[in-house]
Structure 1
C-alpha cells in the first residue's frame, strides 16, 4: 500500500470494485478515490439535509421514533432487494446475535433521530464525531483491546471540544434542552457496543454487509413496531404523517435511500483506499454538513462553535495518526526498561567517559 493509503494496481485488480452496481475496477486508483469521495459527499450531505428538513416541519419534532420506524422499513426493503440482486445464500450469523444487534441498531438510530427534538443539528453531528470515546471504552471492555497514549489524548481533546461546543449551544440556543445531551449520549453508547459486537461476530461468521443490514434493520423494525403499537404512538405518528405524506414519507424515502447508498460507498472506499482515507473523507463531509446546516437553516451562531469544533477535529486526526503509527504504553515501558538496564549494568568508568566526551 502506498503512503497515501491507496492500494496498488496489483491489489485492486483482484477485487471487484463497484459504485451503485457500476464496476469501476478497471479505473485508476485516483479516479476510484475521486468517484467515491464525490458520491459520499453527495449522498451524506443530502442525507443530513433531508433529516434536518424533516424536523423543520411544524409539529414533527415529537415523532422522531416514528421516523425511525419508517427508516427501518425502508432499510429492510433495500436490504431485501440487495440480497436478491447479489443472490446471496443462507444466513451465516446466529439469530441470537441478530436479536442483540437489532436492539443496538434501534437504539443508535432511534436516539439519534429523537435527539433532534432537543438539539441543534450541528450539535448532534459534533456528538457523532466523538464516537471514539464510547467505542474506545467499549472495545477495552468487550474485546480486551489495548490503546496507546495518542488514543487517550485524542479522546481527551474530543471530550473538551464536545463540552465547549455543548456549552456554546446552551448559551445561545433558546430551545436547548439537557435532555437532548442524554438522548444523543445513549445513541453513542449503543453505537459503541454495536461496533464492537459487529466487528467481533462478522469476523467469526464471515457474514456479508447486506446480511447484517437486512437482519439488523428487519428485526429492529419488528421491535419498534410492537413497542409503538402497544404505547399508541404508532397510530398517533401515522395520523400526523398522513396529513403531510410528501414532507414525511417522501422525504424519509430520500433520507433513507441516501443513507443506505452512502454506507455502501463508504465500504467501497475502505476497500479501495483503506480505513484511514475513508475516515478522513467522512470527517470532512461532516464538517461540510455543519457549514451547510448553518447556511440553509436559520440558527444562532457563535465563534465558540468554530474553535471547539476544531478541538474535536484535532482529536479525530490524532486518533487516525495513532492508527497509522501505533505506539503503546508497553512500548514506552520497554524502552524505559532498556534505558535503566543500560545504565544499571554498564561499568561506571565507561559511562563517565562517554558523558565527559559528549559534554
Structure 2
C-alpha cells in the first residue's frame, strides 16, 4: 500500500507540474485573434495569478477538510488556535535550521513546496515547541505575515512571466532551479541567518552553471546587439523575480519559526490573500505599470482580459490547465511530504525540473548547444550536492535518535 501510494504521488507530481509547465510556456507565446487573424500575446498576468491562487486556496481548503481531525475546531484547522512561544532543542538540533534547509529546494511555481520542506525538516531535526493559545496580536501578526507573502508573490510573478518574452523556457526553468541563491541572500540580509559551508559551494556551482548556460545560449537563435540586449533584459526580469521569491521564502521561514502552522495552512492563507489582492487589481482602473499592468492606461484589466478571451478563445484551455494543474500538483506535494518526508519530495521535485526542461526542449523544439547542456548539468549537479548533504545529515540524525531510543529501553 505504501509503495502504491508513493507511485501515485510521483505520477501526480510529475503529471500535474509537467502539464503546468507546458501550459505556462504556451501562455507566453501569441494566440490567434479570430477577428483580425493576427497573433497576439496574452499579457494579463493578474488574471493568470488570480486563477492560480484561487484554485490553490480552494484545493488547500479541501485538503484540510479531508484531513481534519475529529473534534478539531475551525480555528484549529485553519491554524488560528495555537501559536508556539519558543523552540526547545532536542538532540542538539534547532528547528530554525530545518526551515532554512528546506527552502533551498523550493518548487518552480513559487510558493508551497520549499516551505513545506523546511517545515518537515525542522521536525526531523528533533526540535519541539511549547504552545500557548492564540492572542489577538498573534492573529494580527500572523495574518500580516501571510499578507506580506501574498504581496511579494503578486509582485514577483509578473516579472517571471514577462521574462519569457526575452529568454527561452529552459533558461527560465534553470534560473528557477537556482532559487537557493536569492533565498540565502534574503535570509542573510533580512533575518541575519547563517548557512553551512557546503551551501556556498552550491551557490557557486549554480551561479557558474547559469552563467555558462546563458553564455552559450541556443543553437539557431538570432545573434547581434538587439538579441543580446533582449536576453539580458529577460535575465534581469528573472533575477528580480527570484529576488522577491527569496524575500517570500525568508518571510515564510520566519513564520514557521514563530508560529505553529502547517504547510497546508500557509498554502491556504497566502493564496487566499493573493486572490483578494489580484482581484482588486483586476477590477479597479490602473495606470500603465510595466509587467504588472501593461495594458491601456486607466482601464480595468478585467475588461481587457475578457476582451482578449473573446477574441482569442484558444487561450482558455492553457489558462485552465495552468490554474488547475498547479493547484492539484500542490496537493500531491503535501501528500508526498506527509507520508514519505521531505527527502523523497526533494528527489521528486529535482528530477521533475530536469524533465520539465527536457520536455520543453522536445515539444517547443529548443536547440541547445553542448555548452548550454554543460551549464545545465553544472546547475543540477550543484542542487544534487545540496540534496545529498541533506539526506546524509537527516540519516545521521535518525541514527542518533534510534540510539537514544535504544538506551531508554535498556534503562
Both proteins in one fold, TM over 0.5: yes
State the TM-score, normalized to the length of structure 1.
Answer: 0.74
Contact in 1 for aligned 2:151/2:277 (Cα 8 Å): yes
Is 2:217 the partner of 1:169?
Answer: yes
Aligned with 2:16 (options 37, 43, 60): 43
Q: CA deviation at 1:265?
A: 1.5
- SS of the equivalent of 1:145 reads coil
Is 2:74 the partner of 1:89?
Answer: yes
Q: RMSD of the alignment, in Å?
A: 2.5
Q: In structure 2, how many angstroms separate the alpha carbons of the residues matched to 1:214 and 1:125? A: 25
Change (3 A) 1:74 1:36: closer
Aligned with 2:200 (options 144, 149, 152): 152
Contact in 2 for aligned 1:73/1:221 (Cα 8 Å): yes
Q: In structure 1, how many angstroms separate the alpha carbons of the residues matched to 2:63 and 2:343? A: 27
Q: CA deviation at 1:156?
A: 0.1
Aligned with 2:160 (options 109, 112, 130): 112
Q: In structure 1, how many angstroms separate the alpha carbons of the residues matched to 2:328 and 2:200? A: 33
- 1:39-64 superposed Cα distances (whole Å, 9 cap, x missing partner): 21111111111111222333225333
Residue in structure 1 matched with residue 285 of structure 2 by the alignment: 230
1:1-359 matches, within 5 Å, as 27-28=1-2, 30-56=3-29, 57=31, 58-82=39-63, 89-90=74-75, 91=78, 92=80, 93=139, 94-169=142-217, 173-174=221-222, 176-228=230-282, 229-231=284-286, 232=299, 234=301, 235-245=303-313, 247-325=314-392
Q: Bigger CA drift: 261-270 or 221-230? A: 221-230
- 1:320-356 superposed Cα distances (whole Å, 9 cap, x missing partner): 2232346xxxxxxxxxxxxxxxxxxxxxxxxxxxxxx
Q: CA deviation at 1:82?
A: 4.5
Residue in structure 1 matched with residue 404 of structure 2 by the alignment: none
Q: In structure 1, how many angstroms separate the alpha carbons of the residues matched to 2:279 and 2:236? A: 24
Q: CA deviation at 1:35?
A: 2.4
Q: CA deviation at 1:293?
A: 0.8
Q: Bigger CA drift: 50-59 or 125-134? A: 50-59
Q: CA deviation at 1:76?
A: 3.8
**Which runs of 5 or more residues in structure 1 are unaligned?**
1-26, 327-359
**Which runs of 5 or more residues in structure 2 are unaligned?**
32-38, 81-138, 287-298, 394-411
Aligned length in residues: 298
Change (3 A) 1:75 1:269: closer
Residue in structure 1 matched with residue 84 of structure 2 by the alignment: none
Contact in 2 for aligned 1:54/1:251 (Cα 8 Å): yes
Q: CA deviation at 1:248?
A: 2.6
Q: CA deviation at 1:193?
A: 1.7
Q: In structure 2, how many angstroms separate the alpha carbons of the residues matched to 1:200 and 1:33? A: 31
Q: In structure 2, how many angstroms separate the alpha carbons of the residues matched to 1:238 and 1:131? A: 34
Q: CA deviation at 1:219?
A: 2.1
Residue in structure 1 matched with residue 400 of structure 2 by the alignment: none
Q: In structure 2, how many angstroms separate the alpha carbons of the residues matched to 1:37 and 1:319? A: 21
Q: In structure 1, how many angstroms separate the alpha carbons of the residues matched to 2:66 and 2:389? A: 39
- SS of the equivalent of 1:62 reads coil
Contact in 2 for aligned 1:64/1:117 (Cα 8 Å): no
State the TM-score, normalized to the length of structure 2.
Answer: 0.66
Contact in 2 for aligned 1:62/1:117 (Cα 8 Å): no
Q: CA deviation at 1:306?
A: 0.9
- SS of the equivalent of 1:206 reads coil
Change (3 A) 1:196 1:316: same
Contact in 2 for aligned 1:133/1:155 (Cα 8 Å): yes
